[in-house]
Amino acid sequence: MRCFSTSAPALKTIKIGLIPGDGIGREVIPAGQKVLESLPAKYDLRFEFVNLDAGYELFKKTGTALPDKTVDVLKNECDGALFGAVSSPTTKVAGYSSPIVALRKKLGLYANVRPVKSVKGIGRPVDMVIVRENTEDLYVKEEKTFEKEDGTKVAEAIKRITETASKRIAKMAYDIAVQRQGIRDASSSSEQLHKSPSVTVTHKSNVLSQSDGLFRESCREVYDANKDKYKDVEYKEQIVDSMVYKMFRDPEVFDVVVAPNLYGDILSDGAAALVGSLGVVPSANVGDSFAIGEPCHGSAPDIEGKGISNPIATIRSTALMLEFMGYPEAAAKIYEAVDANLAEDKIKTPDLGGQSSTNEVVEDIIKRF
């Protein structure tokens, strides 16, 4: 993945903020911490951890979902962070808004990067990265409800797309495509799903000609203006509804997919079905100088406290965070250990058809380092 710098920083103590959030977030974030603490000494990485608060449960207790202290510590003391999960009330709760959405805005984390990759011999062949714009679209949450003269209610929401945000996310998608191809070219494996890089711009400009039209045009402009840099990247487009159909029918054709906020959210959650479970899909919220690893699953109150939550999405998100921080070798070791666990198909949590506990999966992955 695209890193903040071209080379890893000199050895130092790396400070990671831990934000468990709600529900099973409090069970899987310790898995990410344990994996970092267990990395082999050859990587010369030392970690310190700081526990931070955020979430709906915190809001119900204190009236604040994202304390100022959490943001200040992340900005001024931490090199990266892990965020577990957040509960989302299905009806409006006065004063409450999602802390992870707020964190993305306050820390300038304009991209949500979600790799979806199958393990050899398990399910359909998939190796794609969904790059989701993280700051605008309908998620600006500018909504209102009013009554018409006849007393019926109407709800309206603003969908905001800007040229600046669209070009910024497009550049990240193209850069990731180039970097992924570089990794493939350097690999000794002949079993690569993609022989050349591509980026699929996903939109609905046939209907939303102004908003999605601007997103589409901005993505194309970045590509055309940097043809030398992206000369090996194939530019593609897909209308979002046909994208969903094609993603499930022919997932192997997609390399990097870039989309506005709402479509990217839906596509990345749907893509998890291609590899077995949301419990194995990682993500990272990324800006120009900071990354927060975040598993794609929710707070899962139905299994909270049972010790059976799948830690793999968090462990992979931990590796993804390391990639963006400039430690790809350590990240690769984590990915390799997770893939070995999945391929062996013995120690797995119930969402994958197994009977193992969270801790048993963590220990099995660590022993493969």
- Answer yes or no: are the C-beta atoms of 155 and 282 closer than 8 Å: no
For residue 15, give the nearest of 55, 43, 48, 61 by alpha carbon: 48
| 346 falls within a domain | yes
Residue 353 domain boundaries: 12-126+275-367
Rounded (5°) CA angle 89-90-95? 50
252 within domain boundaries: no
Q: Is residue 55 part of a domain?
A: yes
Cβ–Cβ < 8 Å for 41, 211: no
End-to-end CA distance of the chain: 21
The answer as to whether 233 is a domain residue is no
Distance CA 147, CA 136 (A): 27
- Tokens representing 92 are 């409006």
Q: Is residue 42 part of a domain?
A: yes
- Dist. CA 29–CA 38, nearest whole Å: 14
CATH of the domain at 335: 3.40.718.10
Is 261 within a domain?
Answer: no
Report pLDDT digits (tens) over 259-310: 999 999 999 989 988 987 888 999 999 999 999 999 989 999 999 999 999 9
Contact (Cβ atoms closer than 8 angstroms) between residue 105 and residue 139: no
| Inside any domain, residue 267 | no
The structure's pTM equals 0.88
Q: CA separation (Å) from 117 to 65, 221, 242, 244, 274?
A: 33, 29, 21, 17, 9
| Tens-digit pLDDT profile for residues 299-357 | 999 999 999 999 999 999 999 999 999 898 899 899 999 989 998 889 999 998 999 99
**Into how many domains does the chain fold?**
1
pLDDT in tens, 129-188: 999 999 999 988 899 999 999 999 999 999 999 999 999 999 999 999 998 888 888 776
Residue 21 is predicted with a pLDDT of 96
- Give dist(CA 326, CA 330) in Å, integer: 10
Calpha distance 162→295 (Å, rounded) = 27
pLDDT band at 124 (very low <50, low <70, confident <90, very high): confident
CB atoms inside a 10 Å sphere around CB 369: 14
Q: Alpha-carbon distance 146 to 152, whole Å?
A: 8
In a domain, 282, yes or no: yes
Given the DSSP bridges, would you call strands 291-293 and 127-133 parallel, antiparallel or unpaired? unpaired
